[in-house]
Amino acid sequence: MTVRGRFISIEGGEGVGKSTQIAALAAYIVQKGFEVVLTREPGGTEGAETIRQLVLGGSAERWLPRAEALLFAAARSDHVERLIEPALATGKWVISDRYIDSSRAYQGAGSGLSDADIMTLHQIGSRGMLPDRTLVLRLDTKEAANRAATRDQNQADRIQGRPENFHSDVDMAFVSFAEREPRVRLVDASGTVDTVTMRLLAEISDLLEPA
């Protein structure tokens, strides 16, 4: 019988070095003998990538918070059913750049929808499927904004361009998830790339032990 793979989501505000760390984490897990599928949200499947264009492109006023939350939930549903679940079922590990906690933080805490409503959408769309571990990379919000601005050359998308208090509400939401849910771990994203990778690996070491 195939042992189900593990599902890890990586979260954190813009500019915290997620992409670099995801690549480092994947390389380590592969070296341990597992197959790893890297994916992202919104996106990961053809349908979800189409929704990504809709939800991240266009003017700031394009979507009101409820429609936006439904679009993210729809993208996630396609992603879970067509990519994440089949990969896990065949023993692969899945690392997703963002997942449900982004909806809870951005559409919930940031835009004022309740966590219960976001989780109801997640139940309908994706049977409430949660990661085995969620790693939240955190940096001082100003430092993160500077890094993101340099990277994006100030071409912020619909959500990145929101005011600083929106992004600090998002950050506080991730902190509160970590306080209440053992699956969610905060990881300090300051320091060298290797230092941060070591901190991340420490938070998933138990998942790599044989069952």
Q: Using CB under 6 A, list all residues that contact ligand TYD.
A: 14, 18, 41-42, 56, 72, 97-98, 102-103, 106-107, 157, 159-160
**Token pair for 167:** 């992004």
- Please, which residue, 4 or 147, has the CB nearer to ligand TYD? 147
Least Cβ distance, residue 64 to ligand TYD (angstroms): 13
Nearest to 12 by CA among 105, 173, 137: 137
Region label for 191, one of left (φ > 0), alpha (ψ between -120 and 50) or beta (otherwise): left
- Please, which residue, 91 or 168, has the CB nearer to ligand TYD? 168
> How does DSSP assign 119-175, residue by residue?
HHHHHHHHTT---SEEEEEE--HHHHHHHHHHHHTT---TTTTS-HHHHHHHHHHHH
Least Cβ distance, residue 97 to ligand TYD (angstroms): 6
- Please, which residue, 34 or 81, has the CB nearer to ligand TYD? 81
- Please, which residue, 148 or 208, has the CB nearer to ligand TYD? 148
Question: Residue with the closest Cβ to ligand TYD?
Answer: 106
Kindly report whether the peptide bond that precedes residue 86 is cis, defined as omega within 30 degrees of 0.
no
Strand 133-138 with 7-11, pairing: parallel
Query: Which SS3 state, helix, strand or coil, does residue 197 take?
Result: helix
Least Cβ distance, residue 49 to ligand TYD (angstroms): 11
Least Cβ distance, residue 18 to ligand TYD (angstroms): 6
- Please, which residue, 35 or 188, has the CB nearer to ligand TYD? 188
Least Cβ distance, residue 56 to ligand TYD (angstroms): 6
Q: Within 13 A of 126's CA, how many CA atoms are on the CB side?
A: 26
